[in-house]
Each structure stands twice: as structure tokens, then as C-alpha cells.
Amino acid sequence: MAKVKVKFICTECGTESPKWLGKCPGCSAWNTMAEEKETVVKTQGAFVTGNGTKEKPRSIIDIESGREPRIETRLNELNRVLGGGVVPGSLILVGGDPGIGKSTLLLQTSHALADTGLKVLYISGEESVRQTKLRADRLGALSKSLFVLCETNMEHINEAIDSLGPDFLVIDSIQTVYEPSVQSAPGSVAQVRECTSHFMRLAKVKGIATVLVGHVTKEGAIAGPRLLEHMVDCVLYFEGERHHSYRLLRAVKNRFGSTNEIGIFEMGEDGLTEVSNPSEQFLSERPLGVSGSTVVASVEGTRPVLVELQALVAPTHFPSPRRTATGVDHNRMALIIAVLEKRIGMFLQTQDAYLNVAGGVRLDEPAVDLAAAVSLASSFRDAPTRPFDVVFGEVGLTGEVRAVSRAEQRVKEAEKLGFKRVIMPEKSLKGWKPPAGIEIIGVGTVSEALKAALE
């Protein structure tokens, strides 16, 4: 007979324990142990769990190799992030904050694929069929090859997939689907793991490209066991600020492409529209002749993006000054302030410092350091920067400016948008010829950059 075994699994690292613990012994996280019931069947003196395969091992030389075929959507930004399109038989996980636009993005993608003649099945466990139809009417996502189903039972979902035979499948969301044979509530660790494992086998055996929508926690990570991200082929995060119209699609895992690319969309009344020239959009409201404003040339994946970096330095009324960074790493901001105090001689210990990336974009690369230093110094001295300057470079602890990658692409993007000067690391000038229509100023230290930008 089957024996029901109760165990507790950490939702962060997957550590198992026979009893509940307040603190996980594996990752030291608090209140992450979730109860899970497992049915163990004893057969011929051995315990059997899971599903096995009878495929024989083959030599890697005898296995045929070739590029994975791609299904291109009409959303070029999505194709860029996925590495050229959707791979048949792949399992994709999409996460994001509530209301950020995950369902809108996937419904538009489903409509784009259905227009090419593919059968698309959109299964929603959170909205009724009528609610999905209302969104489709607003987005104009109406196609005979797009089928909609409101279901959360895994057995009924299997019947619908077998009868329809779709080429593209969307599950919105994985936390609402449940397997009747698993004695846990929908959204639990056991249910999410079992349902995801089932969709993974379904995608690989039948070649159905499957997209799973995942909820996120308050820390921003995808809810459920960490194993969920290891099982899928691609993990996408849909990011953006609630009060900004721009949305960023970022890949943190991709077995069929790069994880450095991002897709930029703008949310409107008719859904998401692609931003073909993000630099022009981000700089459209930039004030000219104002202290603390600097344009930085950042690279996201293979695409250079020009963004406005704003800084405000003001006297503080508290014993310890405030340091606030939005869109950049707070630790990098503290490092740059320390370099300005120690190497440049700016007395910022009695000043509050605020650093913001306009447009709701987040910049993670070190090439933003020099522009942040120029913005902070500009606001502290109340000396405006030149309106047609672009600054980029990495700042070291000794005050030196280090070389960064893809300098040529950054300069060409600045020239295309009409900028006149570029302040950049002098060591990044080797190996390429600057364009004739823009002035290049190579600097080796932060003091040289401040002298060129503010005087």
C-alpha cells in the first residue's frame, strides 16, 4: 500500500527536514519551511518515486547537432530577449510585480503567433473567459487560432491540450494550477513543483512551446521553490515602475540565447508598444543648463542606451546625511561619494545626496560611475554641465578612470542623437577610430573628468 510521508522543504534552497524548523539549516532563512506530503510506493523491496525513462545512453558523437528552430513573433523586443524567437518545446517562466503587464504581453504574443497560423492555447486560472475577451478586445488580439480556457485542474488541462494540439501554450499562472493527486493546496511547494514538472515533460515530448506566469514575492523573486527556475529553459522578469509607462523585459536565464539583452516597451491604452529608439525617449524631457544632470551612455546587451542621470546634493539637518539611489546600486553611489571626498577634496559629510536615473530605468554596469561622479560634483558646486556632453567610465578607489567595453558603440549612439562631446576613459580609445562629427575627450582620473565637464 502507498505510504503518506510528511516532510518540510525550504522554499528558498530546497533543504528537506522531517520536522518544521523556524530557521532553515541550509540557507539560514527564517519562516521558509513549507509542509509537503509525499506518497511513496514500495515495490519489490525498493522505493520508487517520480517517472523514469527507458532510453538507452548514446555516444555524444552519434547525436545529431543543429541550431534550434525559432518561431519569430511580431514583437522584435521579445525576440531580442529570447535570442531570436520562441524555440519549439521550450519552457519559459515569466515573472513580475502584480499589474505590471505580464498578461498583456503574453496575450499580445499569443495573438501575434496565432496570426501566423499557429494554434495557441491561453489558459487562465485567475480570470474568466469573458474577462480575457475584454482584454483581447482592448488590445485587438482577436484571431480564430487563439483559443482561451479558464481551468486550474491539471487533468482537465491535459484533456484540452490533447484535443486541441496547440503549438504554443500559456499558463497564467502556475500558482493557480493544481494536481488532484497531490494532497496540497494550489500554490504550495509540492503543487508548483509537480505541475511545472508535468508541463516540462509535456513541452519536451510534444514539442509545445510553453510559457508559465509566476507570481513574485515582496522581495521581487519568483514565488515557489527555487527548483522552479532550474527546471525551465528561460526565466524572464518584467520590470518597471508603476508611475512610469516604460517596461523592461530582462532575461536572467536563457538556454537558447544571451542573458544580457533587454526589451523595452511602453504601456499605453492599446497595450504594450515597442520602443525602437529608447535613448530618444529617455532624453525627451531632459532639462538643459541645470546642475546635477548628466547624460550617460550605458550598454544593455548589445544595444547602447543614453539615459539622463540626475543628482541632488543639499545640506542636511541630521547628524548622519542621507544617501538615496534610485536606478543605480546604492553601494556604488557610496563608493563614488567616498572617492569625491578623499581624492577630490569635496566635503560631503554634511550633505544629503540623492541620485536618480530618469525614466524608471535601472543601470547595473560600472560604466555609470563617472557620470554619477560628474552629476554629484555638478550639484555640489552648483555648476551646470554642458547640455550636449555624454559621460561614461568606471571609477576606481584611487580616483582613476578605468576602461569599459563597447566604447565605439556608445560613441556612435551619442553622435546619432546629436551630442557634441564625449568624456570617456582614455584607455578605451585604442583599437578604433572615433567619428569625425564628435569631440572625444579621454581622461585618466576623476579630477580630469570634472575639469573637462564643469569648467
Give the separation between CA 179 and CA 124, rounded to whole angstroms: 16
Query: Is 103 annotated as a binding-site member?
Result: yes
- Report whether 102 belongs to an annotated binding site: yes
Say whether 99 counts as a known binding-site residue: yes
Report whether 101 belongs to an annotated binding site: yes
**Residue 96 assigned ligand-binding role:** yes
Does residue 97 have a known ligand-binding role?
yes
Cβ-proximal residues to 444 (8 Å cutoff; 6+ apart), any chain: 400, 401, 425, 426, 427
224-254 burial, b for 16+ CB within 10 Å, e for fewer?
Answer: bbebbbeebbbbbbbbbbeeebbbbbbbeeb
Which residues make up each annotated binding site for ATP? 96-103
Which residues make up each annotated binding site? 96-103
